């Protein structure tokens, strides 16, 4: 995820905030120092570029801006450039970028400026209607210099300010955001009002901090922790005016409101984890946001679905007669789920391969084959080599990745990015859910391109996915119930996971998570395969975890549950809320909201993540760094 920081402090003030370090000076040393320190504290989130803007230096030209795009060395480059910053700034904003729209580059780095160069803006989130707004602004004569959706905001605010100068910066921001669809957290500065930062948010987090002589702004508590412990939360569609030592917040209708206070006693490490005990639990609870962000900005102004990068025509998509999906680990399980969706909606036969095996079996590919590579990092060597081989054989290549401009993305004919933000925990959680979401979007896109679904029907199905973040959030609210089930079976030496149809990849992912985190033996099987061998493993007390939500094969699944139950197994079932018929066959139930069956894995896998996490914690394991595992596999 991107990071935001801002500070406004009166000229010449010497106050240092509640916990500032001795020896800090006033003016630019304070403003610039706070910004650079805050950006460094946001490095743990991952970033590919960074930048900052200062306003109010009396010996400057109104606004000074610097950006750097050198991967994880961007902050070092930015710090060197800041040595030439003008002295005496009264306010400033900074940003670390995790690219979504536009490749990692200096032009695409934040802050973005308006045409005058007197206003600058930093933005987290996604502007869904940026193409439509950009077309309007270009027609007005605005020059957009980047590939980002964020720059559109700067010019839109500039346009509103020019149309009604009397409205001021706050009014222009309010008017501009009235045109915006999507999620955002933004901070704006203008050289004409050098002690003011205007901030607003919708969905994307943003909070403010207050000290005697300064006011702070950040997307994350760690960025400004130590300068203050007295924070205020900005709610959706509220707008804040930050001036030295003061905050004024107004509702969408302009009515002044009191922001909710938040006092933080965490240390810096706990703050990075938002108070969670580890990064994995934090990232598990970020999953509603990861799903929501991946769904955003997927429609063109004409209502048709769109990918992020496409160099394959609809005619070429219509000529495709076979799909291969290649992936590893959790990405492979997401690909298994995609098989059901693509075959159902796009009416294409789909094969799925473990990426490390794909190119060694001499696959039959040609120009009518689509190969989909799925990788969180976009650097997984097995998957990268598989799609490269596919390209050499003439196939069309499409990549699902969480990292913009990754090696796999550069190799592909089309790319669909997940928007989970950086994942620090080694075991995939939020990136896995984002991958399933993206693959469902891809299935609808293929159906639209191949005309097996009308654009209206594809759009309706995409709209139906909009409920998924809330359903994931509901599943997460049951974490303590899942922990109680894990406690009951903490001494079990092994587990069997079962699922049918779309429940099968969920079972595989549940078993993988348990192996990765708790180091216990866990195997996932298609439930119908039990009688072909695996049922020999079942004896009195064997713990069998079944995915038994109401899919079209629910009755078949319950028959398999009866088979293991009759042989003495202890049965734990993932079941839909209120489904007592399923619950009476179980010794314990992991409840989830009911969901359209092709979307169900996005919700059904959540309690299995929580179950594995809880067992690992009960056994005293480091969930962020499971033994023997690496986040990205870069050797075959």
pLDDT attached to residue 438: 97
At residue 208 the predicted structure's pLDDT band, cuts being 50, 70 and 90, is very high
Average pLDDT on 517-539 reads: 89
Instruction: Give helix 430-449 / helix 287-295 axis angle, nearest 10°.
Output: 20
Is 471 part of the annotated catalytic residue set? no
- In tens, the pLDDT along 598-611 reads 999 999 999 999 99
Q: Is the pLDDT of residue 28 over 70?
A: no
Q: What is the pLDDT of residues 406-429, one digit of tens each?
A: 889 989 999 999 999 888 888 999
For residue 401, give Cα distances in angstroms to 96, 222, 378, 422.
Answer: 20, 28, 5, 12
Return the DSSP state at 534.
G
Q: 168-181: per-residue pLDDT in tens?
A: 999 999 999 999 99
Task: Determine contact, residues 113/119, Cβ cutoff 8 Å.
Answer: yes
Q: In percent, how much of the chain has pLDDT > 90?
A: 70
pLDDT at 24: 36
Alpha helices in 393-539 (DSSP H): 407-411, 430-449, 455-464, 468-476, 479-488, 503-518
Residue 580, token pair as written in the block: 């007592």
Identify the top-confidence range among 63-77, 248-262, 501-515. Answer: 501-515
Spatial separation of the C-alpha atoms in residues 451 and 446, rounded to whole Å: 8
Q: Answer yes or no: 2 catalytic.
A: yes
Bridge pairing between strands 230-233 and 207-210: antiparallel
Mean pLDDT (the chain) is 90
Which position has the higher pLDDT, 241 or 568? 241
pLDDT digits (tens, 9 = 90+) for 58-74: 666 689 999 999 888 89
Question: Which of the four pLDDT bands, split at 50, 70 and 90, describes residue 18?
Answer: very low
Mean of pLDDT values over 227-240: 90
Element (DSSP H or E) covering residue 68: strand 63-68
Whether residue 437 is predicted with pLDDT greater than 50 in this model: the reply is yes
Q: What mean pLDDT is predicted for residues 20-28?
A: 36
In terms of residues, how long is the chain? Answer: 636
Q: With cut-offs at 50, 70 and 90, classify the pLDDT of residue 260.
A: confident
Mean pLDDT of all residues in 289-303 = 92
Return the pLDDT at 633: 60
Q: What confidence tier does 183 reach under pLDDT thresholds 50, 70, 90?
A: confident
Q: Quickly state the pLDDT bin for 576 (edges 50, 70, 90).
A: very high
pLDDT of residue 636: 57
Give pLDDT tens digits for 308-326: 999 999 999 999 999 999 9
Which pLDDT score is estimated for 12?
Answer: 53
3-state secondary structure 477-499: CCHHHHHHHHHHCCCCCEEEEEE
CA distances from 276 to 38, 227, 282, 625 (A): 20, 22, 6, 16
Percentage of the chain beyond pLDDT 70 is: 95
The reported pLDDT for the residue numbered 233 is 87
The highest-level CATH class for domain 478-618 is alpha beta
CB-based burial of residue 583 (10 Å sphere; 0-12 exposed, 13-18 middle, 19+ buried)?
middle
pLDDT at 22 over 90: no
E strand or H helix that includes residue 29: helix 28-41
Count of C-beta atoms within a 10 Å radius of residue 264: 17
* Phi and psi, residue 120, nearest 5°: -135, 155
Mean of pLDDT values over 27-32: 67
pLDDT at 630: 66
**Mean pLDDT calculated for residue range 183-188:** 93
Confidence of residue 228 (pLDDT cuts 50, 70, 90): confident
* Integer Cα distance of 77 and 543 in angstroms: 54
List residues bridging with 496 in a β-sheet. 523, 544
Q: 122 pLDDT exceeds 50? A: yes
Alpha-carbon distance of 61 to 52, in angstroms, equals 16
Q: Which CATH architecture has domain 3-124+184-249+259-272?
A: 4-Layer Sandwich (3.60)
Which is it for the CA torsion 360, 366, 372, 377, positive or negative? positive
Q: Among residues 2, 273, 339, 513, which one is catalytic?
A: 2
Q: Which residues, other chains included, contact 59 with Cβ-Cβ below 8 Å and sequence gap of 6+?
A: 86, 87, 88
Stronger pLDDT, 26 or 183, i.e. the higher one: 183
Across the range 438-459, mean pLDDT stands at 95
The first and second tokens of residue 241, run together, are 């005016």
pLDDT of residue 545: 96
User: Average pLDDT of 127-139?
Assistant: 93
Mean pLDDT over 327-339 rounds to: 96
Looking at residues 459-467, what average pLDDT do you find? 95
Q: Domains of the chain: which residue ranges?
A: 3-124+184-249+259-272, 283-469, 478-618
Domains 3-124+184-249+259-272 and 478-618 share a fold: no
The tokens of 605 are what?
């896998």
pLDDT of residue 571: 95
Give the N- to C-terminal CA distance of the chain in Å, as an integer. Answer: 29
For residue range 531-549, what is the model confidence (pLDDT) as tens digits? 888 888 888 888 999 999 9
DSSP, collapsed to helix, strand or coil, labels residue 33 as helix
What kind of fold does domain 283-469 have according to CATH?
A: Rossmann fold (3.40.50)
């Amino acid at each position: 995820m991107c990071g935001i920081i801002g500070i406004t402090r009166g000229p010449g003030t010497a106050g240092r905030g509640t916990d500032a370090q001795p020896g800090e000076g006033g003016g630019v040393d304070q403003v610039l120092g706070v910004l650079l320190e805050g950006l460094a504290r946001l490095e743990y989130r991952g970033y590919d570029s960074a930048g900052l803007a200062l306003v109010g230096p009396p010996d400057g030209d109104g606004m000074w801006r610097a950006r750097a795009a050198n991967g994880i060395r961007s902050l070092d480059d930015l710090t060197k450039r800041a040595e030439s910053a003008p002295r005496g700034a009264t306010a400033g904003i900074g940003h670390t970028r995790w690219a979504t729209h536009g490749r990692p580059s200096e032009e695409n780095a934040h802050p973005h400026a308006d045409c005058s160069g007197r206003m600058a803006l930093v933005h987290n989130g996604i502007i869904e209607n940026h193409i439509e707004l950009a077309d309007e602004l270009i027609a007005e004569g605005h020059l957009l210099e980047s590939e980002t959706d964020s720059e559109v905001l700067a010019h839109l605010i500039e346009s509103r300010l020019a149309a009604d100068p009397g409205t001021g910066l706050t009014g222009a921001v309010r008017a501009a955001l009235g045109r915006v669809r999507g999620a955002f957290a933004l901070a704006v500065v203008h050289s004409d009002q050098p002690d003011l930062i205007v901030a607003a948010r919708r969905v994307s987090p943003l909070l403010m901090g207050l000290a005697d002589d300064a006011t702070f702004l950040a997307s994350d508590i760690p960025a400004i922790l130590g300068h203050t412990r007295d924070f205020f939360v900005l709610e959706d569609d509220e707008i804040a005016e930050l001036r030295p030592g003061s905050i004024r917040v107004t509702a969408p209708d302009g009515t002044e409101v009191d922001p909710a206070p938040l006092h933080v006693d965490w240390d810096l490490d706990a703050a990075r984890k938002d108070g969670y005990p580890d990064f994995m639990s934090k990232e598990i609870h970020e999953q509603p946001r990861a799903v929501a962000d991946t769904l955003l900005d997927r429609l063109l102004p004409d209502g048709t679905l769109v990918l992020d990068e496409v160099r394959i025509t609809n005619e070429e998509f219509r000529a495709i007669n076979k799909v291969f999906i290649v992936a590893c680990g959790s990405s492979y399980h997401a690909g298994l789920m995609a098989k059901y969706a693509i075959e159902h909606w796009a009416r294409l036969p789909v094969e799925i391969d473990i990426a490390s095996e794909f190119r060694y079996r001499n696959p039959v590919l040609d120009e009518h084959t689509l190969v989909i590579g799925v990788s969180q990092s976009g650097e997984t060597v097995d998957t990268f080599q598989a799609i490269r081989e596919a390209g050499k054989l003439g196939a069309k290549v499409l990549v699902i990745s969480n990292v913009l401009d990754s090696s796999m993305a550069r190799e592909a004919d089309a790319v669909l990015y997940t928007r989970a933000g950086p994942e620090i925990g080694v075991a995939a959680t939020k990136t896995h859910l984002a991958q399933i979401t993206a693959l469902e979007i891809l299935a609808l896109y293929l159906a639209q391109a191949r005309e097996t679904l009308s654009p209206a029907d594809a759009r309706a199905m995409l709209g139906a996915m909009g409920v998924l973040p809330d359903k994931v959030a509901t599943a997460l609210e049951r974490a303590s119930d899942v922990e109680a089930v894990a406690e009951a079976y903490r001494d079990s030496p092994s587990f069997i996971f079962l699922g049918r149809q779309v429940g099968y990849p969920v079972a595989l992912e549940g078993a993988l998570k348990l192996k990765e985190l708790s180091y216990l033996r866990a195997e996932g099987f298609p439930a119908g395969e039990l009688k072909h061998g695996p049922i020999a493993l079942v004896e009195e007390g064997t713990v069998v975890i079944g995915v038994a939500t109401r899919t079209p094969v629910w009755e078949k699944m319950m028959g398999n549950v009866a088979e293991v139950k009759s042989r003495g197994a202890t049965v734990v079932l993932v079941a839909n809320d209120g489904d007592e018929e399923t619950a009476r066959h179980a010794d314990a139930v992991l409840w989830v909201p009911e969901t359209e069956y092709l979307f169900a894995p996005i919700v059904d896998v959540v309690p299995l993540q929580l179950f594995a996490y809880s067992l690992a914690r009960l056994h005293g394991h480091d969930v962020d760094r499971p033994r023997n595992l690496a986040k990205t596999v870069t050797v075959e």
